[in-house]
Amino acid sequence: MNTIKQRKLELDNCRPEPTMDTETLTRFWDEALTGYSGKMLDIVLTPEVTPYSAMDVSKVSYRGYDDTPIHAWYIRPKSRAEEERRIPCIVTFPGYTGDKGYPERYAHWVLLGYAVLAVDVRGQGGETGNLLPMDSGVVKGWMTQGITDIHRSYYMAISIDAVRAIDTAAVLPGVDPDRIAVAGGSQGGGLSLMCGALSGKVAAIVADIPNMCRMDYGVLHSASSLSEVAGYIKRFPDQLDAVLEHLAHFDMLNLGPRIKAPVLVSAGWKDTVCMPETIYAAYNRMQAPKEMKDYPFSGHEVNEYQKRQAVQFLQSVLG
């Protein structure tokens, strides 16, 4: 057996124990989702001028966690035929510190005849702010905001924001609510998995090099967002257990079995941000129809080959 095959075997057998019991996790999320199920989305659509004649674009806002207005693009193919029928919608989330960008970033989905809801993550590089109170200090970045109070924490906010993005997509004009997919890389991949675990409206998931997987391992080893949590614990070592318990509520290692929709996951074996040991730990606990794409010589990146794999996967599920 060569080294590549040996490494694959090791990852296939990466099965750490969950860091939270299922009953406690289920009770927590049932209460949290019920609390937001009846809250108005207050969706606002504003037409946006674009130089691309093949797409119709609107700016969208909806109410996320704590009533923070979340901003997004809603993009549709521009043709009379498309206006007269409901089409699949791809909900996308950016990587950490990123934003939704310009609408043309999503042209490949529009070419397939899909609509797109491209969503900002609060407080990061886009147009969306953050109304969460700053009750205590944080280290540089966003991830440790409210990390000692789960109901005022950044992870809680972005998780509910993401679920409500799915709720928003389901009622947008022209969207087929039975054919909503989620897609993203890194932070976007983690939030895509989160939507699959928490929303029953998700029909398919593409999670490229996702974070929010085996988060305790990530705190110890990751070179990106979870290093902020490591920095917080370095400053407050007495809070280690409380912080790890907090993260367990948002860890796809624990939430993975809740996913029901078909899922495509990718992992770069040289990734020092979302290490394959974290991704496989969550993937191996998923019980939904699933497929893993391995890139033994890739780091924290999504190559063009994988982007085409995602297109073909979603075509097979959504039509």
The whole domain housing 98 covers 41-318
pLDDT band at 81 (very low <50, low <70, confident <90, very high): low
Catalytic choice (120, 161, 208, 271): 271
| Radius of gyration over every alpha carbon of the chain, rounded to an integer in angstroms | 19
Instruction: Answer whether residue 8 is part of any domain.
Output: no
3 in a structural domain: no
Res 80: pLDDT: 58
In a domain, 24, yes or no: no
- Has residue 273 been placed in a domain? yes
- Tell me the pLDDT tens digit for each residue of 190-236: 999 999 999 999 999 999 999 999 999 999 999 889 999 999 999 99
pLDDT at 82 exceeding the cut of 60: no
Summarised one tens digit per residue, pLDDT across range 85-131 is: 899 999 999 999 999 999 999 999 999 999 999 999 999 999 999 99
In a domain, 21, yes or no: no
Give tens-digit pLDDT for 248-282. Answer: 999 999 999 999 999 999 999 999 999 999 999 99
Is 70 exceeded by the pLDDT of residue 18? yes
% residues pLDDT > 90 (the chain): 92
Q: Is 37 a catalytic residue?
A: no
On whether residue 14 sits in a domain, the answer given is: no
Considering the candidates 71, 246, 249, 300, report the single residue annotated as catalytic. Answer: 300
Q: How many domains does the chain have?
A: 1
Provide the pLDDT confidence category of residue 150 given band limits of 50, 70 and 90: very high
Asked if residue 1 belongs to a domain, the reply is: no
Please spell the DSSP secondary structure of the chain, one letter per residue. --HHHHHHHHHHT--PPPSS-HHHHHHHHHHHHHHHHTS----EEEEE--S-TTEEEEEEEEE-GGGPEEEEEEEEE-SHHHHTS-EEEEEEEPPTT-----GGGGHHHHHTT-EEEEEPPTTSSSS--------S---SSSTTTTTT-GGG-HHHHHHHHHHHHHHHHHHSTTEEEEEEEEEEETHHHHHHHHHHHH-TT--EEEEES-SSSSHHHHHHH-SSHHHHHHHHHHH-GGGHHHHHHHHHTT-HHHHGGG--S-EEEEEETT-SSS-HHHHHHHHTT--SSEEEEEETT--S---HHHHHHHHHHHHHHH-
**Annotation marks residue 176 as catalytic:** no
Does residue 4 fall inside a structural domain? Answer: no
pLDDT of residue 134: 84
How confident is residue 38, by pLDDT bands cut at 50, 70 and 90? confident
Residue of 61, 153, 159, 186 marked catalytic: 186
Q: Is 246 a catalytic residue?
A: no
CATH number of 68's domain:
3.40.50.1820
